[in-house]
Amino acid sequence: MIAIIDYGASNLLSVTNAVASLGFKPKVTSSAEDVLKARAVLLPGVGAAGDAVRKLRDLNLVNAITEVINRDRPFFGICLGYQVLFASTEENNAKCLGVLSGTVLRLPDTVKVPHIGWNQVRQRVKHPIFDGIPDSSDFYFVHSYYPVPTDHSIVAGETEYGVTFTSMIVKGNLIATQFHPEKSGDTGLKLLRNFFRVAGLES
């Protein structure tokens, strides 16, 4: 079972449609039990990090998410679902989940914020997640903040927008992106398919 976490603040339809287009039947769920049972978990999201974390706590999903990641089970965080994995964010000085060490900063005022549109992702590691995806491929972004991981070894992709920021991380079976693969056309779908292959799942 592939679980897509529903905490009332995420772009569920586009993510669900993208996963279904790959031949899978994902389950949209707010159940911690479903998350713990899933073969792979996706945490999408748009909005404010502090609000998202509060909703995840209210639904008793924080421990389930932490346990799945600590067990090195396949997990994919998208946009806000990437940012909330870190310790804290400058956005309203909110605490996040703390699964990863680092903080989330606001994009500089020297560029238009939010960052909306297509931008390149430079690959910083060789990994099966990038199979068939050329370096510096374009992906679709919508965000005002970006994470700064303390552990530089998890940086898988970087993007330029007023600053060089970590647009993708890989840590074991944990993949997370600041961009939206579900809105990034064929390249984004290929990234998601690679994630499921890394997870040992075939449609």
**What is the set of active-site residues?**
79, 180, 182
Q: Please report where in the chains the tokens 């390249």 appear, as a residue.
A: 187
- Whether the CB-CB separation of 54 and 88 falls below 8 Å is answered with no
Please report which helix (H) or strand (E) contains residue 118, including its range.
strand 115-123
- Cβ atoms 1, 27 nearer than 8 A: yes
Please report, for residues 26, 71, 181, the alpha-carbon distance to residue 17 in angstroms, rounded to integers and kept in the order given: 9, 27, 12
User: 3-class DSSP state for residue 33?
Assistant: helix
Distance CA 28, CA 39 (A): 14
State how far the Cα of 108 lies from the Cα of 97, in Å rounded to an integer. 24
User: Between vectors from CA 200 to CA 25 and to CA 190, what angle results, nearest 5°?
Assistant: 70
Residues 6+ apart with CB under 8 A from 119: 138, 139, 141, 159, 160, 161, 167, 179
